[in-house]
Amino acid sequence: MGNLFDLTGKTAIITGSSRGIGKAIAHRMAEHGANVVISSRKLDACKEAAEEINSALGRNAAIAVAANIATKEALQNLVDETMRAFGAVDILVCNAASNPHFGPMESITDDQFTKVLQNNIISNHWLIQMCAPQMRKRKDGAIMIISSVGGLAGSAVIGAYNISKAADMQMARNLAVEFGPDNVRVNTIAPGLIKTDFAKALWDNPEILKQYAGISCLGRVGEADEIAGMAVFLAAPAGAFATGQTFVVDGGQMAT
């Protein structure tokens, strides 16, 4: 199998990759040889992240394509621009997500709930359906959805988000069954509490942080790079026999 983590010649689209977990995944995949497409709503932020990766690696590994994941046309443009630049999509990481409500579900508005379901489930479905046909035709591809340990438990403050993340796990199982005969693998990664801007409402709250540290085997918050390593594994030959699974990376939170 050669180098188990070699991604040379592969092209990856990573949504929500101008910062946080998505940016770390893009950087590490590029380090392992892949071409990567940086995407989020703001083009300037995407360009900055792509330039940072290219400068660090000394090659033009990353391009920037802005896309609002709530818009089907924007996602199709993301795929089209990737094809124009690199000729294929070999790896897809659906990382972008929304959580506009922090509090009990009894106080969430219809618009907020709809936004969570749209951006965290339906948009992933759209993008996968745009990328999967070419993977299936080539008999090779890796698709990942960044879920959350929230999809495995209840919460008094991020209930709608957790519902969407549980749905992503089931989406991966269903698509693994459908795409498996064509050697296209579909998995989810379920991070625990990771120190990113997206999760700041949790790790920046002293009470929540203390509670998390008390139930986590490692007793700390995770770093974005610690999720990126799992993504590289699943995209590379090392993960060639893994599909339909949820890989929990949470410092041992769920073990307790």
Ramachandran region, residue 154 (left: φ > 0; alpha: ψ -120 to 50; beta: rest): beta
* Candidate from 42-46, 66-70, 217-221, 234-238 with smallest mean pLDDT: 217-221
Domain boundaries along the sequence of the chain: 11-248
> Which residues, 6+ apart, have CB-to-CB distance to 24 below 8 Å?
224, 225, 227, 228
214 — pLDDT class (breaks 50, 70, 90): confident
pLDDT at 1: 47
* Candidate from 13-17, 119-123, 203-207, 238-242 with smallest mean pLDDT: 203-207
Choices 3.90.550.10, 3.30.420.40, 2.60.40.1080, 3.40.50.720: CATH for 11-248: 3.40.50.720
Mean pLDDT, rounded, for 52-57: 98
pLDDT at 217: 92
pLDDT at 148: 96
Q: Flag whether pLDDT at 2 surpasses 60.
A: no
Percent of the chain with pLDDT over 70: 96
DSSP string covering 8-51, please?
TT-EEEEET-SSHHHHHHHHHHHHTT-EEEEE-S-HHHHHHHHH
CB-based contact 192:227 (threshold 8 Å): no
pLDDT at 184: 98
> Which residues, 6+ apart, have CB-to-CB distance to 142 below 8 Å?
90, 91, 92, 184, 185, 234, 235, 239
Q: Flag whether pLDDT at 6 surpasses 90.
A: yes
pLDDT at 212: 76
Residues 127-159 pLDDT 10s: 999 999 999 999 999 999 999 999 999 999 899
**CA dist., res. 13 & res. 135, Å (int):** 13
Residues 108-125 pLDDT 10s: 999 999 999 999 999 999
**CA dist., res. 64 & res. 46, Å (int):** 5
Respond yes or no: is residue 212 known to be catalytic.
no
Mean pLDDT across the chain: 94
Q: Which of 91, 97, 190 is nearest to 147 (CA)?
A: 190
* Candidate from 109-113, 195-199, 230-234 with smallest mean pLDDT: 195-199
Out of 126, 161, 179, 247, pick the active-site residue.
Answer: 161
Provide the H-helix boundaries in 139-238: 159-179, 200-203, 206-215, 225-235
In this prediction the pTM is: 0.94
